Amino acid sequence: MEHSQDLHEIKVSKKWLHLGLTAMWLVQTLVSFLAQAIVAAYFGASASLDAYLVGTAIPTTIYMIVSTGLGATAIVHFNQAKARGGESEAREKIGGLTVGISTVSVVAAILIFLAADGLIGLIAPGLRNEVRQQAVACLRISAPSLPFVILFCLLSGLLQAEGRFYATSIGSILFVGLVPLPVLVGKEVSPEALAWGFDLSAGTGCLVLFVLGAFRHSVKMRMLSRVEWKHVITFSMPAFAAACFTHGIWLLERYFASSLAPGGISALNYGQRIVNFVAGGLTFATSTTLLSYLSDWLESGNTARAGAFNRRIIGLTTRSAIAGMLGLLLGGEWLVRLAFARGQFDESAVELTTTVVHLYLGVFVAYLFSVVLGRNALAVNEGKVMVASTGALFVSYLIVAPVLQRILSLQGLALAASLAWLLSLSVYLFGMCRKYPYLYWQVTSTDTNQSVSKRMS
């Protein structure tokens, strides 16, 4: 009876939050669609856009890595500190983390700026010289955005840990929507103008979250001790390693695709954008709230509530995966035309991008479930499964992608990504379901206690 009442409370209390977050996602999706439509109209699938995508690949990849690793670390670290010493101490520790991370990011930005020429040659050796020089210019322009990108991810995690999900949604909308603004207001249609837009998006999104956090005194500056830094690094390393493996394959994709005909990198990017639009919408509420709730309940020992909530999320994810896959399969070309087919985005770009969307279906399904399983692993501090799964993703793509590229060219790279993601998902499912069954199906109290004891140890 008590368990049924808890489950009912979960459904009622989260209903309006999920509806609100869904509305915020719709706004973010519309803004992102509009931004990408503007880019597509001005640049199409071209060598100029290839230069921008390669030039911003490093800060973009760092953003994806830290948004996964650093944001999650902030959530769990905040909840752990709050459980031990109260909310004030938790905010002080996050403040100390903010100072240290900001310092490191400034140094990294300087190094990336100075080494831009060599870095572009490393990640995209097949580019023609003119495109390569544009890519170097884009990297030098976007390198100063790195501190803002990293601080944005840290503040997003902190605000999510405090339950301020709408604030992070506002920051995300600004982060994705301002990239084409310099092209619209200026006279120059160039990859360098887009790179300035990348800086504008990162800086504005970070500033808004910082103001919102400062208004509620969410961050209190204090230096962390050596022991505290050791704890943070030890805890966060599996999450960062997993994020590096996960997003490293997109850097590898840029590497392999640099030898394709001009526009190949752009087509892969447009296809990934369509898949991300749909997948991001279906997982927006889950990715925003799940880790915060699970870590809070598990830290307080409420495993029954955590398991009931997680099983409900998995059921929702399964239905979303089926509906989304059918939608992309049947309506992929319509989505491509709706989002991009105007201006310089011609019929050949539509055909290439639609093909990529269909071949990315494996990425789509695996991503939906990995959002849940990855946050499950973070909530129970299961670093080994995370690293094993994402390591399988990276290594399998590294082996399969060059083989399929030689056989199928651009299509081979998209297919290789799907196969690698599905293999990674199977490793995640096996490891998490075996070690933490109470999160995935009804189990006896003895099994639950054993799993919890294993997590605590």
Q: How many domains does the chain have?
A: 1
Selected residue with higher pLDDT from 192 and 299: 192
For residue 157, pLDDT beyond 60: yes
Tens digit of pLDDT for each residue in 87-112?
665 666 566 667 777 788 899 999 99
The predicted model gives 195-215 an average pLDDT of 84
Q: How confident is the model at residue 12, as a pLDDT?
A: 44
Which SS3 state, helix, strand or coil, does residue 263 take? coil
Contact predicate 295/75, CB 8 Å: yes
Locus of tokens 């209190």: 220
For residue 212, pLDDT beyond 50: yes
- 126 DSSP 8-state letter: T
Q: How confident is the model at residue 289, as a pLDDT?
A: 74
- Domain span including residue 192: 2-456
Tens digit of pLDDT for each residue in 24-79?
767 777 888 888 889 999 999 889 999 999 999 998 888 877 776 666 666 666 66
CA distance 103 to 69: 18
Tens digit of pLDDT for each residue in 272-314?
989 988 887 778 767 767 877 888 788 778 888 888 889 999 9
Contact predicate 22/284, CB 8 Å: yes
409 burial via Cβ count (<10 Å: 0-12, 13-18, 19+):
middle
Q: How confident is the model at residue 2, as a pLDDT?
A: 46
Tens digit of pLDDT for each residue in 387-442?
899 999 999 999 999 999 999 999 999 999 999 999 999 999 999 999 889 889 87
pTM over 0.75: yes
| Stretch among 13-27, 145-159, 244-258, 265-279 having the lowest mean pLDDT | 13-27
Q: Band of the pLDDT at 191, cuts 50, 70, 90?
A: very high
The predicted model gives 226-244 an average pLDDT of 69
Q: How confident is the model at residue 8, as a pLDDT?
A: 44
CA distance 272 to 226: 41
Q: How confident is the model at residue 232, as a pLDDT?
A: 61
CA distance 305 to 313: 12
